[in-house]
């Protein structure tokens, strides 16, 4: 199996006005003190795609969306299609993030349709899965994630068009992280349900202090970073923890 380069992706969520977005993108470029040993991706809010895409042009840092509608166009007020993201310069789109699943009632079936839409537009889908705290406490974490994977991944998934992000819901934005043992066990389980060679990112309060341990695990092929990606130095420090290519 080909060795995959790790990916560190920043999910800026609903943060930043144009001036902030451009400044953060420029700072991400400026803090790189060497060639990164991983791929870098930033996913700003939709209003900043053009600004951030412009600031990142030629940097090798990829641009991604945070969600898309399943349809290519139409009467869907407030939504954005995968084609629109691609047109804005995106190569990736985050889908099924827990803030979408829980805040917008997105089901596995809806996420699946969105992934089909992303592929239609030529985007790489970053599929987020993860259990809630009560599901983990009930010993159901692995079953929950397996069910999400089975329900969300369409036929036609490959290691080139799909990346999975394991993000325990209780770890997102809370400062809590799963233990290294739990991360390793979940990633090994996810590995059995996805195409050979597909990357599995870990997400959930990844920061400069815990990144080396997490990114050093054999089945962790990168990180999806929320809060810490809003600070360019922290984002770069996390990226620097990807010293070795993913196995």
Catalytic residue among 69, 83, 167, 187: 167
Q: Which is nearer to ligand PEP, 61 or 206 (CB)?
A: 206
Tokens standing for residue 175 = 């400062």
Q: Which of 69, 92, 97, 187 is catalytic?
A: 97
Task: Decide if 92 is catalytic.
Answer: no
Nearer to ligand PEP, 83 or 203 (CB): 203
Chain centroid offset of residue 47 CA: 19
Q: Is 187 a catalytic residue?
A: no
Task: Write the burial class of residue 164 (CB in 10 Å: 0-12 exposed, 13-18 middle, 19+ buried).
Answer: buried
Range 71-110, binding ligand PEP (CB under 6 A): none
Q: Tokens 């809630």 appear where?
A: 132
User: Residues 186-225 vs ligand PEP: string with x where CB under 6 A?
Assistant: -----------------xxxx-----------------xx
Instruction: Quote the least distance from Cβ 183 to ligand PEP, whole Å.
Output: 13
Q: Does 11 bind ligand PEP (CB under 6 A)?
A: yes
Residues 6+ apart with CB under 8 A from 211: 223, 237, 238, 241
What residues numbered 125-154 form the site for ligand PEP, per CB under 6 A?
none
Q: Pick the closest to residue 186 from 216, 170, 165 (CA basis).
A: 165
Identify the residue among 28, 126, 149, 172 touching ligand PEP (CB under 6 A): 172
CB of 202 to ligand PEP, least distance (A): 9
- When the beta carbons of 113 and 167 are compared against ligand PEP, the nearer one is 167
Q: Is 21 in the site for ligand PEP (CB under 6 A)?
A: no
Q: How far apart are the first and last CA of the chain?
A: 9
Q: Is 231 in the site for ligand PEP (CB under 6 A)?
A: no
The answer to whether 35 touches 49, Cβ cutoff 8 Å, is no
Read off the tokens for 1. 């199996």
CB of 229 to ligand PEP, least distance (A): 7
Smallest distance from ligand PEP to CB 181, Å: 19
Are 168 and 204 in contact by the 8 Å Cβ rule? The answer is yes
Applying CB under 6 A, which of residues 227, 234, 242, 246 lies at the interface with ligand PEP? 227
Q: Is 42 in the site for ligand PEP (CB under 6 A)?
A: no
- b/e map of 166-204 (b: 16 or more CB within 10 Å)? bbbbbbbeeeebbeeebbbebbebbeebbeeebbbbbbb
Please give the residue ranges that form the binding site for ligand PEP (CB under 6 A): 11, 167, 172-173, 203-206, 224-228
């Amino acid at each position: 199996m080909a060795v995959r380069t790790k990916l560190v992706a920043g999910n800026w969520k609903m943060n930043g006005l144009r001036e902030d977005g451009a400044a953060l993108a420029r700072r991400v470029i400026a803090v790189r003190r060497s060639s990164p040993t991983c791929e870098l991706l930033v996913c700003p809010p939709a209003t900043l795609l053009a600004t951030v895409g412009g600031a990142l042009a030629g940097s090798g840092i990829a641009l991604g969306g945070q969600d898309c509608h399943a349809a290519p166009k139409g009467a869907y007020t407030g939504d954005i299609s995968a084609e629109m993201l691609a047109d804005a310069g995106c190569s990736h789109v985050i889908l099924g993030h827990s803030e979408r699943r829980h805040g917008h009632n997105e089901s596995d079936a809806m996420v699946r349709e969105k992934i089909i839409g992303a592929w239609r537009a030529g985007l790489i889908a970053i599929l987020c899965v993860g259990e809630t705290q009560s599901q983990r406490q009930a010993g159901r974490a692995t079953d929950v994630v397996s069910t999400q994977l089975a329900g969300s991944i369409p036929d036609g998934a490959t290691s080139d068009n799909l990346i999975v992000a394991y993000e325990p819901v209780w770890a997102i934005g809370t400062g809590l992280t799963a233990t290294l043992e739990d991360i390793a066990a979940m990633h090994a389980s996810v590995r059995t349900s996805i195409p050979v060679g597909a990357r599995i990112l870990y997400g959930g309060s990844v920061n400069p202090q815990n990144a080396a341990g997490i990114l050093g695990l054999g089945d962790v092929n990168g990180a999806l970073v929320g809060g810490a990606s809003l600070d360019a130095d922290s984002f770069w420090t996390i990226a620097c923890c990807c010293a070795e290519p993913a196995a």
